[in-house]
Amino acid sequence: MNLQSSKKGTAAVWGGELESFFKGATTPPIVNSVTYAYHDLDEWHEVSLGKKEGYIYSRNTNPTVQVLEEKIRVLEGGEAATSFATGMGAISNTLFALLRPGKRVVSLKDTYGGTSRIFLDFLPGFQVQVTLCDTTDHEQLEAEIAKGCDLLYLETPTNPTLKVVDIKRLAAAAHKVGAVVVVDNTFATPINQNPLKLGADLVLHSATKFLCGHSDAMGGVLTGRKDLVEAVFRFREINGASLAPDPAYLIARGMKTLELRIERQNTSALKIAQFLKAHPKVMDVYYPGLPTHKGHEIARQQMSGFGGMMSFALNGNYDQVKKFLTSLKLVHLAASLGSVSTLAGPPRTTSHVELTEEQRRQLGIPESLIRYSVGIENVEDLIGDLTQALNSL
C-alpha cells in the first residue's frame, strides 16, 4: 500500500506503521537499545556500509525514531526524512550542513527568535553572508534573491504577528538562481500547508509544537529532496543532535490525532479571531483567516486551513496586558504553542524576549500584543473565558 496517495488522516495514523512490529504489537515499540547485534560479521559489515538495511547505533538510526520520520515524510510528500532532538536542532543542522564560507542566505526579519540568532550571531562568524528582508516585501525579497543566493529560508505564517509570505512565488525566484528553498512549517502544520508542493526543496518543523501536540516531548523533523536530506543527516549523525526513542514515540503518537486536532483548532481559532475583532477592548487581531489580514489572499491560496495560532493587541498598555492575562482561567501563561491546552503570553516574555522594546517596535510588535495558541477545549468556553477577562479591564 502506498500512503503517498492516501489522505492525511490516514497517512498520520499508518505512516511508518504498515509493517508489523515485534510479536504482533499494534503500536510501535520504544526501542531503547543503543546498539544492534549481529551473528554474521559479513552482514554487520554490509549494514555498516549502508549496502543492506538494518541498524548499527541509535545516534544514526533507530526503529522508533524512523516511525516518526516516515509519518512526516508521507504527510509533507517528501522523498526522505530525518529528525533531531529539537526544532532548533533541525534548523541549525540544516543551515550548517548546507552552507559554507562564502555562501549567501536570504531570509526574513520575522523568523523564529532562535533562527534569527543563528542568522545574526553565528552564521556571519563562519563567513556566511546573511540578508534579512522585510517579511512581506516580496519585491525586496525577489531583488535580493536575484543578486545571487545559495539558500532561501522562509517561515509562514510568522511569529508573532502571523505575516504570510508567498512560497510559490519566492521559490520560483530562488530556483532561477539555483538556490535551495527551506521552509519552517511549524505554525501551519502539514495539515494546513505543504511547502514541498509549492516548490520548496526542504520543509522542517519544531515537532515540539503541533506535531507532538501535548507539550510533553521535544523534537525536530526535516523532509524533502533526498540528496539534501541525506546531506543534513550525515552532518547530524556526527554532530549528534539525534532524537531519542522516548520523545519520538510520544511525537508519533501525537501525530496520529494531528488532523483531528488541527481541524478543531482551525475552526475554533477563526471563531475566536472573529469574536476578538468585534470587541471594543481589542485594538487589532492578527489571524490569516480574517479577510482584513494583509496576508489573507496568499494564505487562501497556499493554505487549506488558517491554523490555531493568532495574536491580538489590546486597547491599552502593558499593565492591561498583565491584568487581562492573569484574569484568564482556561490558559497556561507559558511559552511554546500548538498544544491541546490553550497557551498565551506577550511576545516580550515568549518569542521575542531577547529583543529590546525598540527592536520589537521595529518589527511591528505592539507592547499590548498577546500571542494566543488555541487548544482543543470547547470554543464557547474559550470565548467565555476571554469575555470575562476583557470585562475585567
Ligand X SMILES: *Cc1c(COP(=O)(O)O)cnc(C)c1O
Q: From the candidates 103, 112, 249, 371, give the one annotated as an active-site residue.
A: 112
Rank residues 104 and 209 by Cβ distance to ligand X and give the closer one.
Answer: 209
Grid coordinates given for 56: 548499527
Pairing of strands 180-184, 202-206: parallel
* Integer angstrom CA distances of residue 370 from 123, 172, 328, 334: 31, 34, 12, 12
Q: Which residues contact 361 (CB under 8 A, 6 or more apart)?
A: none
Rank residues 70 and 184 by Cβ distance to ligand X and give the closer one.
Answer: 184
- The verdict on whether 286 is a catalytic residue reads no
Grid coordinates given for 212: 507532538
- The verdict on whether 287 is a catalytic residue reads no
Report the nearest approach of ligand X to the CB of residue 187 (Å): 6
Rank residues 15 and 247 by Cβ distance to ligand X and give the closer one.
Answer: 247
* Integer angstrom CA distances of residue 53 from 45, 47, 358: 11, 6, 54
DSSP for 44-68, please give it: HHHHHTTSS---SBTTT--HHHHHH
Rank residues 3 and 258 by Cβ distance to ligand X and give the closer one.
Answer: 258
Report the nearest approach of ligand X to the CB of residue 252 (Å): 16
Rank residues 371 and 389 by Cβ distance to ligand X and give the closer one.
Answer: 371
| Phi (first) and psi of residue 96, to 5 degrees | -75, -25
Report the nearest approach of ligand X to the CB of residue 70 (Å): 20
Q: From the candidates 150, 184, 201, 360, give the one annotated as an active-site residue.
A: 184
Rank residues 155 and 259 by Cβ distance to ligand X and give the closer one.
Answer: 155
CA dist., res. 312 & res. 202, Å (int): 31
Which of 74, 96, 70, 99 has its CA nearest to residue 83?
70
- By the criterion CB under 6 A, which residues form the site for ligand X? 86-88, 112, 114, 155, 159, 184, 186-187, 206, 208-209, 218, 220
Grid coordinates given for 150: 545559495
Identity at 232, one-letter amino acid code: V
Total length of the chain: 393
What count of Cα atoms within 13 Å lies in the side-chain half-sphere of residue 16? 28
Q: From the candidates 209, 261, 264, 371, give the one annotated as an active-site residue.
A: 209
Report the nearest approach of ligand X to the CB of residue 150 (Å): 21
Rank residues 283 and 333 by Cβ distance to ligand X and give the closer one.
Answer: 333
Report the nearest approach of ligand X to the CB of residue 345 (Å): 13
- The verdict on whether 59 is a catalytic residue reads yes
Report the nearest approach of ligand X to the CB of residue 170 (Å): 17
| Phi (first) and psi of residue 132, to 5 degrees | -105, 125
Strand ranges inside 151-302, DSSP E: 151-155, 180-184, 202-206, 220-224, 282-286
CA dist., res. 142 & res. 176, Å (int): 10
State the CB neighbour count (10 A cutoff) for residue 148. 13
| Phi (first) and psi of residue 19, to 5 degrees | -85, 155
- The verdict on whether 236 is a catalytic residue reads no
Report the nearest approach of ligand X to the CB of residue 247 (Å): 10
**Residues designated catalytic:** 59, 112, 184, 209
